[in-house]
């Protein structure tokens, strides 16, 4: 291990000696994905905090707070999904993860709004960005999601099972509670009590959990959470099952994240536009740029490979009018220690109203520039350990339509990852 680390470190230092600095932005390999918040993307901001109202009242408050003294407040970042602003009692978990086309559009449509200020040599004012994104195809649940769903259901069932004893007047101590719960689990295992009915879980899987994990979890929960002197058994059981002891958050959080990373085919679209208000006056407002993205993604069922095809339009309408049409393709492959990504982007551009010298090179004239260019990048990352990853990116950037400059992309780097809590897979 030491030898491997030393070799990789020397290689990294050697490459770093030859590497010329590039901005992180120019080497971002996620350019083929539609932005998660199109409004932030169109304004080119990465807000530190984003308001995500989940009720109509919270949304109203957020919108009111974005205006101060009749002007837009800068640095507002707001994102919300209109469909989820109210409770949806008829949408089951199954409906949520495997929705119909119409239902999927409702569930995945999100609106983002952002503001910022500008202050350059000539003028100052506010900028407002808005965007909408949605999913046409949402893929299918990954095997990881299936496993985490089972684990979350089993964990939750154990808490619900313990909760059944809070009205049992024959239980006065945690030890008696433990004895009763363990006896119930034994009865489920030997068939004298009914097993929980859990969708997607076989009796064998439920029994395996009860035999190997459930008893230990109950014993640990009772051991680590002693009953307070003045606490009733009902309150003790409520506390036991409402705290992390019997309802650990980690598995449910991992499930929530995993649902957002399905496998198979995904088709996503987003649009965004911005407005500027020079001198904070509406009559001077302009629409400086607009964008639209559509991305078709295929993620393999083993979650190790992905292909992205993206079509993106970006238009800029201030000073000169420029229109870019990008078509991109990326391939990503990763294993436990190694990842590889190749990304190619073709761009057709048209810039109107560019001032340039005429044929005689004596007078300035206004002209239109049209052309095509491309960008190709390759990224390789090698994980030395859970804490350290080496990265190398090389490629060719777009050729600028007017300025002739360097277009070679190189970046070598080392990432340090802080340790995070691990989820136990059941």
Query: CA 242, 244, 247: angle at the middle one, nearest 5?
Result: 65
Contact track, other proteins, 234-263, x by CB under 8 A: ----x--xxx---x-xx-xx-xxx-xx---
Confirm or reject binding of residue 149 to other proteins (CB under 8 A): yes
Tell me, by CB under 8 A, how many residues bind other proteins.
50
Binding other proteins (rule: CB under 8 A), the pick from 19, 50, 105, 198 is 198
CB of residue 155 to other proteins, shortest distance in Å = 8
CB of residue 183 to other proteins, shortest distance in Å = 13
Phi, psi at 65, each rounded to 5°: -70, -15
- Treating both helix axes as pointing N-terminal to C-terminal, what angle do 143-163 and 215-224 enclose, rounded to 10 degrees? 60
Contact track, other proteins, 392-411, x by CB under 8 A: --------------------
Yes or no: say if 43 and 274 are a contact pair by the CB < 8 Å rule. Answer: yes
Shorter beta-carbon distance to other proteins: residue 145 or 324 = 145
Confirm or reject binding of residue 232 to other proteins (CB under 8 A): no
| DSSP 8-state secondary structure symbol assigned to residue 25 | G
Confirm or reject binding of residue 373 to other proteins (CB under 8 A): no
Tokens coding 246? 């019997």
- Tell me how far CA of residue 354 lies from CA of 290, 315, 325, in angstroms: 20, 15, 19
- Treating both helix axes as pointing N-terminal to C-terminal, what angle do 143-163 and 233-242 enclose, rounded to 10 degrees? 170
Tell me the residue ranges of DSSP E strands in 18-60: none
Confirm or reject binding of residue 273 to other proteins (CB under 8 A): no
CB of residue 93 to other proteins, shortest distance in Å = 5
Shorter beta-carbon distance to other proteins: residue 164 or 358 = 164
Task: Indicate the SS3 state at residue 171.
Answer: coil
Confirm or reject binding of residue 179 to other proteins (CB under 8 A): no
Contact track, other proteins, 49-88, x by CB under 8 A: -----xx-------------------------x-xx-xxx
Beta bridge partner(s), residue 272 = 131, 291
Yes or no: say if 143 and 301 are a contact pair by the CB < 8 Å rule. Answer: yes
What is the per-residue DSSP string for 236-247? HHHHHHHSTTTS
How far apart are alpha carbons 33 and 41 in whole angstroms?
12
Confirm or reject binding of residue 132 to other proteins (CB under 8 A): no
CB of residue 84 to other proteins, shortest distance in Å = 4
Tell me the residue ranges of DSSP E strands in 18-153: 67-68, 71-72, 77-80, 110-119, 124-140
- Give the interface segment with other proteins, choosing from 118-126, 197-205, 290-298, 310-318 (CB under 8 A): 197-205
Binding other proteins (rule: CB under 8 A), the pick from 25, 48, 194, 359 is 194
- Give the interface segment with other proteins, choosing from 19-27, 122-130, 194-202, 397-405 (CB under 8 A): 194-202
Beta bridge partner(s), residue 51 = 78
The closest of 170, 157, 147 to 218, measured between CA atoms, is 157
Binding other proteins (rule: CB under 8 A), the pick from 164, 212, 319, 355 is 164
Shorter beta-carbon distance to other proteins: residue 27 or 246 = 246
- H-helix or E-strand containing 216? helix 215-224
Confirm or reject binding of residue 117 to other proteins (CB under 8 A): no
Shorter beta-carbon distance to other proteins: residue 110 or 272 = 110
Confirm or reject binding of residue 168 to other proteins (CB under 8 A): yes
How far apart are alpha carbons 156 and 154 in whole angstroms?
5
417 Cβ neighbours under 8 A, 6+ residues apart: 386, 387, 388, 389
Tokens coding 155? 């964990």
CB of residue 48 to other proteins, shortest distance in Å = 19
Which parts of 312-351 interact with other proteins (CB under 8 A)?
A: none
Binding other proteins (rule: CB under 8 A), the pick from 47, 159, 262, 328 is 159
Interface residues toward other proteins, by CB under 8 A: 54-55, 81, 83-84, 86-93, 95-97, 107-108, 110, 149, 152-153, 156-157, 159-161, 163-164, 167-168, 194, 196-199, 238, 241-243, 247, 249-250, 252-253, 255-257, 259-260
């Amino acid at each position: 291990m030491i030898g491997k680390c030393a070799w990789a470190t020397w290689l990294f230092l050697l490459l770093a000696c030859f590497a010329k600095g590039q901005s992180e932005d120019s080497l971002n390999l996620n350019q083929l994905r539609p932005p998660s918040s199109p409004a932030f993307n169109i304004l080119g901001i990465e807000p530190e905090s984003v308001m995500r109202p989940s009720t109509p009242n919270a949304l109203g408050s957020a919108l009111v707070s974005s205006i101060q003294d009749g002007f837009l407040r800068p640095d507002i970042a707001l994102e919300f999904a209109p469909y989820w602003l109210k409770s949806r009692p008829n949408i089951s978990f199954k409906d949520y993860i495997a929705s119909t086309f119409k239902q999927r559009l409702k569930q995945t449509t999100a609106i983002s709004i952002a503001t910022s200020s500008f202050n350059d040599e000539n003028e100052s004012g506010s900028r407002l960005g808005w965007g909408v994104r949605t999913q046409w195809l949402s893929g299918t649940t990954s095997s990881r999601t299936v496993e985490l769903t089972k684990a979350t259901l089993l964990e939750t069932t154990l808490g619900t099972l313990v909760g059944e004893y809070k009205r049992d007047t024959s239980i006065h101590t945690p030890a008696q509670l433990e004895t009763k719960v363990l006896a119930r689990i034994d009865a489920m295992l030997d068939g004298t009590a009914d097993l929980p009915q859990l969708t997607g879980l076989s009796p064998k899987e439920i029994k395996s959990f009860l035999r190997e994990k459930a008893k230990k979890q109950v014993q640990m929960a009772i051991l680590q959470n002693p009953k307070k002197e003045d606490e009733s058994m009902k309150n003790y059981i409520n506390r036991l099952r409402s705290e992390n002891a019997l309802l650990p958050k980690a598995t449910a959080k991992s499930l929530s994240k995993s649902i957002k990373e399905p496998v198979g085919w995904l088709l996503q679209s987003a649009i965004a536009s911005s407005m500027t208000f020079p001198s904070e006056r509406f009559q001077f407002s302009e629409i400086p740029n607009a964008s639209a993205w559509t991305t078709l993604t295929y993620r393999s069922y083993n979650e190790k490979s992905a292909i992205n095809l993206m079509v993106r339009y970006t238009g800029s309408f201030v000073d000169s009018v420029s229109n870019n049409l990008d078509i991109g393709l990326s391939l990503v492959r990763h294993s436990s220690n190694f990842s590889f990504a190749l990304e190619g982007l073709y761009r057709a551009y048209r810039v109107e109203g560019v001032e340039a010298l005429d044929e005689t090179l004596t007078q300035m004239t206004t002209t239109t520039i049209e052309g095509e260019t491309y960008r190709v990048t390759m990224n390789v990352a090698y994980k030395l350990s859970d804490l350290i990853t080496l990265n190398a990116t090389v490629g060719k950037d777009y050729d600028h339509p007017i300025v002739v400059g360097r277009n070679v992309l190189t970046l070598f780097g080392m990432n340090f990852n802080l340790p995070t809590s691990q989820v136990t897979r059941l």
